[in-house]
Structure 1
Amino acid sequence: MNMLKDWTMFEKVWIAVFAATNVYLFFAWQDSLLGLVTSITGMFCVVLAAKGRISTYYFGIIQTATYAYISYGYGLYGETMLNALFYFPVQFIGIYLWNKHKSHRMNGKGAEVEMKGLTRRGWLYVTISFTLVFVFYSFLLKGIGGSSIWIDSATTILSIVAQVLMLQRYKEQWLFWILVNVLSILLWLTTLITQGGNDVLMLVMWSAFLINSIYGYINWTKVYKKQIGRAA
């Protein structure tokens, strides 16, 4: 498969094990087909993002649309609005922006885009912005009768921050994705315990996302240092 030709053995084994686990749980737990599609396309999306590949956004289009639908069924309105109104259209913006900033050294391997790092001023701006919007959005979710509003709000706003940093190709996006994934695991665990339901694959998906986000930070940091070294 041409898409996998420059993948490391770890990446190939990782995606194969995850896909096999999803298929097994799909039958064992009688999960929804939509949940299976969401989980697998989401995994390809985040692995390709960790590799700095533009094709991440094509899988993201499918994953965000299906995940929004599932979240709506559980009353997770923050997750629903985040994916339907933000993530989904942003995938098309990402394709455009990343294509404008391709790496000068492609030769069939490595990242496709030039990467950046946040300055101290950038960190300050991001932290203040997140805090203010997080508080506001929490009260908004409470007003419309949402479930698990504080975790839902935190995952939503952290996700927006991470996605904006991703569009701008900052390696620090992965630190925010790590937080998003930890909170999302707690969110779905709480939701499935309190409301029931058979979408266990959502827990598996977010757990896999957490592992991938750690790998993504390591890989982007390594590639960023190489790109800086070439530019010096």
Structure 2
Amino acid sequence: MYLWKECTHFEQSWLVFCIISFLALFALEQLDGLSLVIACAGSLCIFFAAKAKTITFYCGVVYNLLYALHCYLVNDELTMYLHLCFHLPLQILGIYLWQKNSIGHPTLQENILLRRLFPNAWIAIVLGMILIAAFTAQVIYSLGNGMPNLVIIAVIFSIIANVLMLARFVECWVAWIAVNVFNIGYWAYTSMLSPPIYISGFMMGIFLVNCLYGCYRWNRISQLQNEMFVGPYCSLRLASNIQKPIPQVGKITNP
């Protein structure tokens, strides 16, 4: 309940809109029960990440387990192993790293100290993702497997975004936005070749809005943390390092 009270009116309205939208799709038989829970868990994961809450990784554990189950049911073994062997361990690692770097004096109810790579690092992030994706595609092509599936680009982008988020860099949201923009573009491209699945496009749109809000909020939190603790690269006191006052035993105070 305290998490709900910490949300702004915009955040509360957005959460209600997402949940009602997914429930409406379920009622219209556009989503089955498992897909409904996966959509809700994925949205909550990104939403709490935007608020810099450690609970995002608990939602991520649920999301990855359920999505792996979904992939198993549709015989998509490659994606299933990707979520079980890579994304799921990252969620568990994220819980440890974010709790280790929690702060005792939040500015906007965040749980962690945020960091930045360097000024205008988002340009380097975007260019780096493009170069890595192009290099990987060339390697796959040179191995004789034909033209690589474009989905591999989204996988590479998501790996980079996950690593940046674990390290608490604000620029991680640039990578997540790139992931969702690519997914929407890929969905639009495939829609021209086959009947479009509008549910997929709708959910990608929701994830993109969540990522845009996360980018805005982490930038705002970073600015407030810098103002509070003087300088963009200074050390912020972590919750584990806050020293409690030592009581003085035997001290007599005047009435």
Same fold (TM over 0.5): yes
Alignment of 1:17 onto 2:17: yes
Identity %: 29
Which of 1 and 2 has higher RCO (CA within 8 Å, sep 6+)? 1
Aligned to 1:228: 226
Distance 1:197 1:214, change over 3 A: closer
Aligned to 1:169: 168
- What is the number of equivalent residue pairs in this alignment? 228
CA contact (8 A) 1:68 1:83 kept: yes
Mapped to 1, the partners of 2:76 and 2:194 lie a distance apart of: 10
CA contact (8 A) 1:75 1:147 kept: no
Q: When the two structures are superposed, what TM-score results if normalisation uses the length of structure 2?
A: 0.76
CA contact (8 A) 2:115 2:169 kept: yes
Question: Residue 35 of structure 1: CA displacement?
Answer: 1.1
After superposition, residues 72-91 of structure 1 pair within 5 angstroms as 73=74, 77=78, 79-91=79-91
Return 115-124 or 167-176, whichever deviates more: 115-124
| Structure 1 spans left out of the alignment, 5+ residues | none
Mapped to 2, the partners of 1:86 and 1:98 lie a distance apart of: 18
Letter in 2 for 1:4: W
Aligned to 2:27: 27
| Structure 2 spans left out of the alignment, 5+ residues | 231-255
After superposition, residues 153-192 of structure 1 pair within 5 angstroms as 153-188=152-187
Letter in 2 for 1:209: F
Which whole-Å deviations, capped at 9, do the CAs of 1:39-81 have from their partners, x for residues lacking one? 001111101000000000111111122234445638594x545
Q: When the two structures are superposed, what TM-score results if normalisation uses the length of structure 1?
A: 0.82
Question: Residue 183 of structure 1: CA displacement?
Answer: 1.6
Aligned to 2:96: 96
Mapped to 2, the partners of 1:123 and 1:218 lie a distance apart of: 13
Distance 1:176 1:125, change over 3 A: closer
Distance 1:190 1:144, change over 3 A: farther
Which whole-Å deviations, capped at 9, do the CAs of 1:88-107 have from their partners, x for residues lacking one? 11000000000011122049
Aligned to 1:44: 44
Name the one with the larger helix percent: 1
Letter in 2 for 1:156: V
Distance 1:58 1:140, change over 3 A: farther
Distance 1:217 1:127, change over 3 A: closer
Distance 1:57 1:35, change over 3 A: same
CA contact (8 A) 1:148 1:187 kept: no
Letter in 2 for 1:170: F
CA contact (8 A) 2:122 2:171 kept: no
Aligned to 1:119: 118
Aligned to 1:134: 133
Letter in 1 for 2:3: M
Superposed CA RMSD: 3.3
